[in-house]
């Protein structure tokens, strides 16, 4: 067991930290949590600005092979995610940089890699994911949006939903039914398409707090070049599983919560209730300490996932466990923080809101991690079926 960083890693960590700390100074006041990049125009602009800054340093291609202008290794990606999480800096496209790029590197043709990787690395093209449909959520493979091949094109018809950032994205990657007669899991193809293609209609969906981080996307005879395929035709399900493996270890979210805890501790050290500092209240101390323990446990497990991924080893069970744990910790944290803030915990960003209204925002936002990227219940199935070898539901 060795959790130490090499001297070289320490230097790069410092560079990541310094850069993010600088970028934090330029954060618009309306930026509260990562999802606001999709909700507020000036936050989206800030996201694009940060992406360009990171691209200049080559940090959007961390861990890529050198032939695609890659730089550094997987461990750099972890250290970079830590810095961004802690300072709350966007600019790394979850869909393009974190999910699609590693998938393309493993599953796409040379032509596709050459065409799509460089714009991602330059921070020029922002992506969205088009998977869920109104009748295909956790049971994604039962999707019904079709892409029928005609000559050198696919013609897409149907509807996708819960597409985070689809109303902002330049390009989308989606899964579509290409062979309506074939059996489930062998009838789906993974395609890339320009969001400006005629026939695509994007309608933002208001989230439960009234903002719109996601959208529904309608396809009406949308023509997509047949070459924009990743993996084999009709075998997109394999690509879906591959991409799901590149989902976040949670480092980003965990570091963001660590910063949140630090700020909450400062608040408790400075704020009096019942004539004494909140920090002196034994119940507050105990509950914050309990949360701090869980947060450290989440971080330790995220390192475990990163350590496995660094060695290209499978981390299916640990990745699922980590996702369940950090996302549900996010729920508990939002409840605890808003409890401690009392009546102020319900105030949105304004002059009455403590800590910039972050916790009011988090009271809504935690569902984004528990429900998306495979609900936590699906993650529990993964652990039970594939990890513990328990009989599968039929």
Partner 1 sequence: MDLRFTETQEILKKMARDFLTTECPKTLVRKLEQSEEGYSPELWKKMAELGWMGLIIPEEYGGMGYTFQDLVVLLEEIGRNILPGPLIATIANTFPILEAGTEEQKKELLPKIAQGELIFTTALLEGDGVFDASGIAVKATPKGDDFIINGTKLFVEMAHVANYILCVTRTKDGTSPEKGITLFIVDSTTPGISCEVMPTTAADKLCEVRFKDVNVPKKNMLGKIDEGWPIVEMLLRKGAIAKCAESIGAIETCVEMTVAYSKERVQYERPIGAFQALQHIMADMWTAMETSRYLVYEAAWMESEGLPCAKEASMAKAYVNEVYKNLSKWAVRVHGAIATSADHDIPLYYRRSKAADIAFGGTDFHREIVAQKIGLV
| Sign (positive or negative) of CA dihedral 7, 11, 16, 21 | positive
Compute the least distance from the CB of residue 311 to partner 1, in Å.
Answer: 8
E strand or H helix at 215: strand 214-225
β-pairing verdict for 171-177 and 127-130? parallel
- Of 135, 262, 273, 339, the residue at the interface with partner 1 (CB under 8 A) is 262
In angstroms, rounded to a whole number, what is the distance separating the alpha carbons of residues 307 and 134? 37
Q: Which x/- pattern over 1-40 shows residues binding partner 1 (rule: CB under 8 A)?
A: xxxxx-----------------------------------
CA–CA gap between residue 10 and residue 12 (Å, rounded): 5
* Nearest distance from C-beta of residue 6 to partner 1, angstroms: 9
* Element containing residue 341 per DSSP (H, E): helix 316-341
Tell me, letter by letter, the H, E, C secondary structure of 115-127: HHHHHHHCCCCCE
Instruction: Please report how close the Cβ of residue 290 comes to partner 1 at its closest, in angstroms.
Output: 6
Interaction of residue 208 with partner 1, rule CB under 8 A:
no
Report CA Rg, the chain: 22
Residue corresponding to tokens 């990745």: 319
**Residues 286 to 325 in contact with partner 1, rule: CB under 8 A:** 286, 288-290, 292-294, 296-298, 300-301, 303-304, 306-307, 310, 317-318, 320-321, 324-325
> Of residues 316-375, which lie at the interface with partner 1 (CB under 8 A)?
317-318, 320-321, 324-325
Q: Is 233 exposed, middle or buried (0-12, 13-18, 19+ CB in 10 A)?
A: middle
Q: Fill in the per-residue mask, 57 to 86: x = in contact with partner 1 (CB under 8 A), - = not in contact.
A: ------------------x-----------
User: By rule CB under 8 A, what count of residues binds partner 1?
Assistant: 53
Of 29-37, 59-67, 212-220, 284-292, the window that binds partner 1 (rule: CB under 8 A) is: 284-292
CB of 394: closest distance to partner 1 in angstroms? 9
Question: Do residues 199 and 212 make contact, with C-beta atoms less than 8 angstroms apart?
Answer: no
290 CB contacts (<8 Å, ≥6 apart)? none
**Residue from 56, 272, 285, 348 binding partner 1 (CB under 8 A):** 285
Residues near partner 1, by CB under 8 A? 1-5, 75, 261-262, 265-266, 268-269, 277, 279-280, 284-286, 288-290, 292-294, 296-298, 300-301, 303-304, 306-307, 310, 317-318, 320-321, 324-325, 377, 379-381, 383-385, 387-391, 393
């Amino acid at each position: 067991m060795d959790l130490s960083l090499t001297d070289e890693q320490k230097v790069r960590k410092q560079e990541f930290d310094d850069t993010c700390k600088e970028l934090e100074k330029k954060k618009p006041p309306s930026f509260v949590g990562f999802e606001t990049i999709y909700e507020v125009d000036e936050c989206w602009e800030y996201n694009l600005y940060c992406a360009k800054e990171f691209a200049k340093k080559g940090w959007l291609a961390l861990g890529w092979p050198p032939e695609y202008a890659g730089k550094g290794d997987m461990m750099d990606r972890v250290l970079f995610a830590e810095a961004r999480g802690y300072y709350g800096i966007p600019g790394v496209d979850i869909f393009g940089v974190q999910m699609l790029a590693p998938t393309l590197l493993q599953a796409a043709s040379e032509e596709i890699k050459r065409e799509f990787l460089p714009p991602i690395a330059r921070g020029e093209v922002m992506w969205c994911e088009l998977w869920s449909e109104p009748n295909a959520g956790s049971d994604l493979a039962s999707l019904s949006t079709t892409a029928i091949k005609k000559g050198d094109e696919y013609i897409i018809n149907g509807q996708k939903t819960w597409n985070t950032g689809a109303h902002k994205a330049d390009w989308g990657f989606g899964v579509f039914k290409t062979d309506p007669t074939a059996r489930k899991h062998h009838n789906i193809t993974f395609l890339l398409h320009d969001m400006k293609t005629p026939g695509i209609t994007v309608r933002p969906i208001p989230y439960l707090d009234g903002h719109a981080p996601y959208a529904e996307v309608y396809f009406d005879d949308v023509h997509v070049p047949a070459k924009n395929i990743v993996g084999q035709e009709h075998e997109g399900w394999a690509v879906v599983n591959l991409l799901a493996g590149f989902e976040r270890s949670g480092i980003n979210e965990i570091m963001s919560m660590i910063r949140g805890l630090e700020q909450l501790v400062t608040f408790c050290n400075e704020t009096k209730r019942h004539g004494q500092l909140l920090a002196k209240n034994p119940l507050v101390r105990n509950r914050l300490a309990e949360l701090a323990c869980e947060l450290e446990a989440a971080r330790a497990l995220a390192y475990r996932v990163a350590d496995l991924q660094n060695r290209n080893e499978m981390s299916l069970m640990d990745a699922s466990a980590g996702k369940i744990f950090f996302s549900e910790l996010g729920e508990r944290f939002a409840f605890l923080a808003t409890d401690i803030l009392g009546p102020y915990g319900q105030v949105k960003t304004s002059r009455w809101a403590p800590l910039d209204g972050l916790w009011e925002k988090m009271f809504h936002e935690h569902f984004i991690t528990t429900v998306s990227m495979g609900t936590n219940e699906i993650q529990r199935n993964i652990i039970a079926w594939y990890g513990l070898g328990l009989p599968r539901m039929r």
